[in-house]
Amino acid sequence: MTDVSLVGNTPFIKLSDKLYAKFEAYNPSGSIKDRMASYILARAIKDGSVRKGTTIVEASSGNTGIAFARLAAKHGYGCIIVMPRNMSSERKQMMTAYGARIIEVGDNAFKDAIKTREELVNNFGTYWSPRQFENPLNIECHAETTAREIAFEVLSIPNRLSALVTGAGTGGTIMGCQSYLSKLWSDAKFLLVQPAESALCHGIQGINDGADFLVDKRLIDEQLVVTTEQAKLRSEALAKDMGLLVGISSGANVLAAERWIEENNPTGVVVTFLCDRGERYLSAQRAMEA
């Protein structure tokens, strides 16, 4: 089985009568970021930007770092991940298990992480970065893969798409899905999940990293606000009530989608994402309980 065949085509699961989710934990490193990482790296290898002796350098809250650490190990590249120090210990452990080196910056300091990434890439000729926060291939990846899968699955129910609900780290997922799915369902809503707390202190790792990055707010129909505690509690309930051990951002996505469905009673279905596996957040969940 090739590596490409392991990425994408994730399960499309029914959470309630009108709510469905793409279960992205089935990707090889356990998150939706495998899609973008594999897509961008494949392009870079093809055009010669990445070759033997290259070190991949990226700023990440965790899942992108894990995805690129896995790919670096698979292809024999070096890997350096720059990340805020307050991200979960399990995420860091997964990256180092793949052989990546981690450089930490301040709590939730994603701009500092990006600045450090750029300094490294500019100072070392063998370093290459996918630049996930500004790379248009991030959007293209989700338009060409994730959105097409969603369209096929919704039409196979059969039904129509009323809304897509998701938080955004880079914004690649929501913008890629919007660009493709809005052409099929012109009245579909694209709803952005946001933490209630500021980017400097919220605990929904993987979304709202301090800037819009690739998100074009003009194409977003509404922002749905969820607190960190609410997101953690909903992710806990997904594990205990449905056997879905998923991350905190998944809890935020599901809760926001459920609220929107209750308030709007859509005629079609709503689609969201279970972005990753929950094992990488267990220490963060315990911190809430303490």
Residues 77 and 89 sit within 8 Å (Cβ to Cβ): no
Residues 58 and 129 sit within 8 Å (Cβ to Cβ): yes
Catalytic-role residue among 33, 92, 189, 232: 33
Residue 277 pairs in a beta bridge with 246
Give the N- to C-terminal CA distance of the chain in Å, as an integer. 44
Query: Distance between CA 252 and CA 160 in Å, rounded?
Result: 23
| Token duo for residue 23 | 């279960």
Residues 72 and 97 sit within 8 Å (Cβ to Cβ): no
Which of 133, 90, 40 has its CA nearest to residue 276? 90
What 8-state DSSP symbol labels residue 276? Answer: B
Contacts of 120 (CB under 8 A, 6+ apart): 57, 80, 82, 127
Specify the amino acid at residue 33: K
Specify the amino acid at residue 21: A
Residues 272 and 21 sit within 8 Å (Cβ to Cβ): yes
Assess whether 232 carries a catalytic annotation: no
Catalytic-role residue among 31, 61, 235, 249: 249
Assess whether 249 carries a catalytic annotation: yes
Residue 40, φ and ψ in degrees, nearest 5: -70, -40
Judge residue 234's burial from the number of C-beta atoms within 10 Å of its C-beta, 0-12 exposed, 13-18 middle, 19 or more buried.
buried
Q: How far is CA 65 from the centre of its chain?
A: 11
What are the catalytic residues? 33, 249
